[in-house]
């Protein structure tokens, strides 16, 4: 039986980027993933994910996103393919930024200026003139930042999987991890549900929604939440094609709504909600978008994007986040089992960090110090823990 230096559980954006980092360092890597890649239910799947550097007042996340943006351009060059589309990022606000100085919108704008960026302020009727699909009335303020856009998430995962294989990784598709094997407090490998036995010197759990089930000791600190996603076929595609339209966050911290311009190959406009979601079990509960979800969407469209109000919904999914109670990633060595590490807790904002997250997870697994590692380490959270990601729509900042 082959013994890998590292066995990675999960071939989403966290797992594959970690594999690439370890492969570049010369380690042998095996990757286990249930079903194909991308997995149809994985958070990394779908046609698009937002890439933005606006994180309110959080300078570390902004720095990570800045580095990720460089990485997305580098991946476009490396693969000779436009996986990342820089359409810009539009933030709208129902309140003047000066009237809500601590809001996600206002703090993001100020931090951009502080870092030397030049976002385009959009006040009053200027929003409708700049982006005519938007009804200006609900939004009295906001800004557009040209640095940002979206990544074609499903294609990104497929491309990274092929690249990992080219660099020497073994991808074991159709193997869902069932148990992590240990001897005398040290990891020795993994047994899959399908009966496979995989030996490794170290195991890294990047299993997304299944992380707190593979490691039940994480269940007090994580929950799986499901969020509605809609693909609409626009009757006026011209209104939603860049530069007439961009990735947007529509008063997101108060509404949850965000979306994308017309997809270049699918021909749809994707809109989703970044809120509290529904607590779900990743396997046992159906991931259905409800009639209430659709009614909520239609009300948002009538108010904000009237040209889409009556257009057909051609696809829905309930995207499941792996939420930590504080909204921060969970990246660290296991405190009790040697050779076992975790890279999880994307909390609905992890995909954009794909070009940098793997190096962070690899560094943790290797016991290295990384400048961004401190707050993602193994930690104690409880019912009083507040969620910190400022763009997330949560009435009481708790999950």
Please report how the helices 354-365 and 13-24 are oriented relative to each other, as an axis angle in degrees rounded to 10. 60
Q: What is the dihedral of CA 74, 77, 78, 82, to 10 degrees?
A: 100
3-state secondary structure of 273: strand
Question: What is the pLDDT, as a whole number, of residue 397?
Answer: 83
Distances (CA, A) of 126 to 104, 122, 140, 198, 255: 20, 5, 9, 59, 21
Strands 89-93 and 49-51, by their bridges, are unpaired
Distances (CA, A) of 53 to 119, 349, 391: 12, 11, 12
So where are the chain's domains? 3-44+154-221+325-376, 90-149+223-324
Distances (CA, A) of 259 to 30, 129, 166: 35, 19, 34
Class of domain 90-149+223-324: alpha beta
DSSP per-residue codes, 308-339: GTTSPEEEEEEEEEEEETTS--EEEE-SSSBT
Question: What is the pLDDT, as a whole number, of residue 395?
Answer: 82
Q: Is the fold of 3-44+154-221+325-376 the same as that of 90-149+223-324?
A: no
Question: What is the pLDDT, as a whole number, of residue 221?
Answer: 98
Question: What is the pLDDT, as a whole number, of residue 137?
Answer: 87
Q: Which residue has the tokens 């902004």?
A: 62
Structure tokens at 354: 């794909």
Question: What is the pLDDT, as a whole number, of residue 40?
Answer: 87
Give me the tens of pLDDT residue by residue for the chain, a chain 399 residues long: 799 999 999 999 999 999 999 999 999 999 999 988 999 889 888 999 999 999 999 999 999 999 999 999 999 999 999 999 999 999 999 999 999 999 999 999 999 999 999 999 999 899 999 999 999 889 999 999 999 999 999 999 999 999 999 999 999 999 999 999 999 999 999 999 999 999 999 999 999 999 999 999 999 999 999 999 999 999 999 999 999 999 999 999 999 999 999 999 999 999 999 999 999 999 999 999 999 999 999 999 999 999 999 999 999 999 999 999 999 999 999 999 999 999 999 999 999 999 999 999 999 999 999 999 999 999 999 999 999 999 999 988 888
CATH classification code of 3-44+154-221+325-376: 3.50.50.60
């Amino acid at each position: 039986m082959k013994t890998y230096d590292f066995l990675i559980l999960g071939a989403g954006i966290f797992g594959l980027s970690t594999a690439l980092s370890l492969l570049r360092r010369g380690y042998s890597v095996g990757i286990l993933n249930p079903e194909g890649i991308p997995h149809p239910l994985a958070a990394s799947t779908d046609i698009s994910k937002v890439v933005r550097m606006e994180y309110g007042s959080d300078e570390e996340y902004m720095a990570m996103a800045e580095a990720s943006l460089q990485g997305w351009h580098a991946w476009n060059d490396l693969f000779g393919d436009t996986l990342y589309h820089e359409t810009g990022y539009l933030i709208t606000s129902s309140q003047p930024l000066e009237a809500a100085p601590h809001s996600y919108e206002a703090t993001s704008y100020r931090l951009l200026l502080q870092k030397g960026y030049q976002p385009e302020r959009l006040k009053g009727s200027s929003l409708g003139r700049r982006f005519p699909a938007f009804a200006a009335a609900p939004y009295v303020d906001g800004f557009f930042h040209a640095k940002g856009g979206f990544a074609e998430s499903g294609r990104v995962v497929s491309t990274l999987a092929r690249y990992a294989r080219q660099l020497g990784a073994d991808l074991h598709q159709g193997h869902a991890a069932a148990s992590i094997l240990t001897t005398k407090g040290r990891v020795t490998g993994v047994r899959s549900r399908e009966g496979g036995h995989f030996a490794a010197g170290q195991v890294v759990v990047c299993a997304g929604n299944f992380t707190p089930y593979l490691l039940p000791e994480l269940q007090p600190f994580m929950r799986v939440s499901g969020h509605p996603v809609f693909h609409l076929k626009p009757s006026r595609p011209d209104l939603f094609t860049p530069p007439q339209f961009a990735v947007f966050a529509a008063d997101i911290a108060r509404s949850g709504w965000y979306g994308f311009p017309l997809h270049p190959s699918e021909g749809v406009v994707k809109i989703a909600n970044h809120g509290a979601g529904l607590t779900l079990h990743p396997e046992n509960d159906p991931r259905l978008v409800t009639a209430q979800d659709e009614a909520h969407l239609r009300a948002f469209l009538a108010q904000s994007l009237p040209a889409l109000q009556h257009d057909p919904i051609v696809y829905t999914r309930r995207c499941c986040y792996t939420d930590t109670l504080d909204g921060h990633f969970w990246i660290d060595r296991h405190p009790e089992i040697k050779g076992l590490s975790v890279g999880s807790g994307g909390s609905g904002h992890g995909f954009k960090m794909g070009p940098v997250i793997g190096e962070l997870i690899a560094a943790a697994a290797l016991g290295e110090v990384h400048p961004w590692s401190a707050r993602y380490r193994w930690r104690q959270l409880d019912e009083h823990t507040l969620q910190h990601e400022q763009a997330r729509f949560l009435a009481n900042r708790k999950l």
